[in-house]
A and B are shown apart, each in its own frame.
Chain A
Amino acid sequence: MRSALQHPIFSSLLFLLLWQGLSSLLVSPALPTPAEVFHELYGETASGQLPFHLWKTLQRLLLSFGLAMGLGSLIGIFLGRHEKLDRFFDNWLVIFLNIPALVTIILCYVWFGLTELAAISAVVANKLPNVVVTVREGARALDRDLLEMALAYRFGRWKTLRHVIWPQLFPYLIGAARTGIALTWKIILVVELLGRSNGMGYQLHLFFQMFNVAGILAYTIAFVLVIQCIETLILKPLDRHAKRWRR
């Protein structure tokens, strides 16, 4: 019985049950029942509306996430390996880390207009400092003994990068990716809400104006499912692969 209680399905069922109980108690449009939400989810999916907007948002997510990870890794490695530059730019990083996401988004729209470019740059600018800080940690912690070994055995640049440096940075990159994906998609919704005419954020804004809570919850469920899939099907296996040599 105890093991059954600990099963994840049980906790999900309990959650649905509570939701059902609360919504049938309140009987309010502010909290629709699970059945209503799933009906909405089905309707929106069948009409093609949800897949379209979800795909728009995912495209932005992948593009900005990729850009932020790539640029952030390069800058992070560079700063981690050059102590003087790192000390010089440290203040900049702290400033960028502390600028609220909303400010960057508004500024990007003001500077670049209500364009796709502005939207993507806003997300990248928000995520970039986080990646830089995490990867910089990794680059600072590179094992000197192993680098010397690679030098003594004439590994050369490419071999050293691939077999000595990359495996040490990989856990940091995965760490940055896992926190990054959760952060990025939340920012993207705000970006879309403020200045795009498609995507999840835009749809949520519409539902908000029409007071369609079922719609909001339906889109939320769809998106959470997609992000969870990315996490369990891509990031977690990568993480496990990186740790396979550990005792």
Chain B
Amino acid sequence: MSKIVIDIRKKTYPARHGSGEHVAIKNLRIELGAGEFVCLVGPSGCGKTTLLNLIAGLDRQFEGVIGTGAGVAPRIAYMFQNPRLLPWRTVRENIDLALPDSQYGGDVDHLLDVMGLAESQGQYPERLSLGMSRRVALVRAFAIQPTLLLMDEPFVSLDAPTARRVRQLLIRVWQERPHTVLFVTHDLREAITLADRLLFLSAPPTSLLHEVTVDIPRPAREDEAVVEAFRNRLITGHPEISELL
């Protein structure tokens, strides 16, 4: 594993009738250390999803480079805002389909167990609750053993207890098998709970506004008061951040 460099000089959307050319991202450079958990924080509509789509290779229309120093393309897993499961395939089939041929089977059973989905693997996704579908999407992302995991506000619109539980599961599996995570959120508390490092993004054209290392030891982050205190210090120290959120 090596670090991943994302250097986007310019990403524009062509002019559509009614509006001119829209510059979504400009001069954004991010370095992700190997095995690092990084949270991107920014206002909604600040081009976070655009950025993830660029990294995932879904959109190749941009100026800049994304890559590892070693020249080996990272194996990327992408957890979208909505679970995006194939409704006509069972939970298990959805996960198995994402696996590269060389890696069939693998530790899917273990992951299903950890996420509490072992019983539901024969079900079709439409019969699952949103929380369960999110967990399936998470298992799918982990199962391919990515070197880079992209997550786009994956826990939005989950109720608070479920979101907390899934967040804990995420950290648990990430610690079992460390890999680089780029996690997008607009919830600062969530970001502080999860990340090694926070990156604050500006409104479009998106660029890097500020960078903060979260130095709270992981076990201490279970305590909401600690997270809250860190957040308050951050906001009083950097008033420009509170304007973003």
Docked-complex contact B58 and A245, CB < 8 angstroms = no
Contact B78 A245 (CB under 8 A): no
B6–chain A nearest beta-carbon distance, Å:
16
Tell me if B76 is interfacial: C-beta within 8 Å of chain A: yes
Question: How far is A152 from B49 in the complex, measured between Cα atoms in Å?
Answer: 13
Are A247 and B127 in contact, with the CB atoms below 8 A?
Answer: yes
In the complex, whether A83 has a CB less than 8 A from a CB of chain B is no
Query: Are B89 and A163 touching (Cβ within 8 A)?
Result: yes
Question: Would you call A153 and B80 a contact (CB within 8 A)?
Answer: no
> Would you call A153 and B78 a contact (CB within 8 A)?
yes
- 1/0 contact string of A206-247 vs chain B (CB within 8 Å): 000000000000000000000000000000000000001111
Q: Is the CB of A152 within 8 A of B57?
A: yes
Report the separation of the CA atoms of residues A167 and B98 in the bound assembly, to the nearest whole angstrom: 17
Instruction: Establish whether residues A149 and B127, one from each chain, have CB atoms under 8 Å apart when the complex forms.
Output: no
Q: Is the CB of B56 within 8 A of A163?
A: no
Query: What separation, in Å, do the CA atoms of A247 and B57 have in the docked complex?
Result: 34
B109 within 8 A of A: no
Q: Which of B81-136 contact A (CB under 8 A)?
A: 82, 84, 86-89, 97-98, 100, 124, 126-127
Asked whether A153 and B58 contact (CB < 8 A) given A245-B88, A247-B126, the answer is no
- Give chain B nearest CB distance to A157 CB in angstroms: 14
CB of B195 within 8 A of chain A?
no
Determine whether A22 belongs to the interface, using a CB cutoff of 8 Å to chain B. Answer: no
Q: Which of A145, A152, A155 contacts B97 (CB 8 A)?
A: A155
| Interface class of chain A by DSSP | helix
A151 touching B88, Cβ below 8 Å? no
- With A146-B84, A159-B97 known as contacts, the answer to whether A152 contacts B126 (CB < 8 A) is no
List of A residues within 8 angstroms of B124 by Cβ: 244-245
Task: Name the distance in Å between B76's Cβ and chain A's nearest Cβ.
Answer: 7
* Residue B144, interface by CB 8 Å: yes
Q: Which residues of A contact B87 (CB under 8 A)?
A: 245-246
With an 8 A cutoff between CB atoms, is B77 at the interface?
Answer: yes
Q: How far is the CA of A246 from the CA of B125 in the complex (A)?
A: 9
Interface size on B (CB < 8 Å)? 22
CB-defined contacts of A153 to chain B, threshold 8 Å:
77-78, 97-98, 140, 144
CB-based contact B86/A164 at 8 Å: yes
Q: B93's closest neighbor in chain A, by CB?
A: A163
Chain A nearest CB from B55 CB (Å) reads: 10
Are A149 and B100 touching (Cβ within 8 A)?
no
**Residue pair B84, A145 in contact (C-beta under 8 Å):** yes
Tell me which residues across on chain B come within 8 A of A247, comparing CB atoms.
126-127
Do residues B58 and A151 form an inter-chain contact, with CB atoms below 8 A? yes
Contact B86 A163 (CB under 8 A): yes
CA distance A163 to B88 in the complex (A): 8
CB of B86 within 8 A of CB of A152, answer no
| Minimum distance in angstroms from A51 CB to a CB of chain B | 40
Residues of chain B contacted by A152 (CB below 8 angstroms): 56-58, 76-78
What is the CA–CA distance of A108 and B97 in the complex, to the nearest angstrom?
A: 48
Residues of chain A within 8 A of B86, CB atoms compared:
146, 163-164, 167
The yes or no answer to A154 lying at the interface (CB within 8 A) is yes
Q: Please measure, in the bound complex, the distance between the C-alpha atom of A159 and the C-alpha atom of B82, giving whole angstroms.
A: 21
Bound CA span A159–B126, Å: 21
What is the minimal beta-carbon distance from B62 to any residue of chain A, in angstroms?
Answer: 16
15 contacts between A and B (CB under 8 A): A148-B80, A149-B84, A151-B57, A152-B77, A153-B78, A153-B97, A153-B98, A153-B140, A153-B144, A155-B97, A164-B86, A167-B86, A244-B124, A245-B87, A245-B89
By Cβ-Cβ distance, the 8 closest A-B pairs, closest first, are A152-B78, A245-B124, A167-B88, A149-B84, A153-B98, A245-B88, A152-B56, A247-B126
- B residues near A (Cβ < 8 Å) are 53, 56-58, 76-78, 80, 82, 84, 86-89, 97-98, 100, 124, 126-127, 140, 144
Residues of A within 8 A of B (CB): 145-146, 148-149, 151-155, 159, 163-164, 167, 244-247
Given contacts A153-B97, A153-B98, A245-B87, 14 further A-B contacts (CB under 8 A): A148-B58, A148-B80, A149-B84, A151-B56, A152-B58, A153-B77, A153-B140, A154-B100, A159-B97, A164-B86, A167-B88, A245-B124, A246-B87, A247-B127
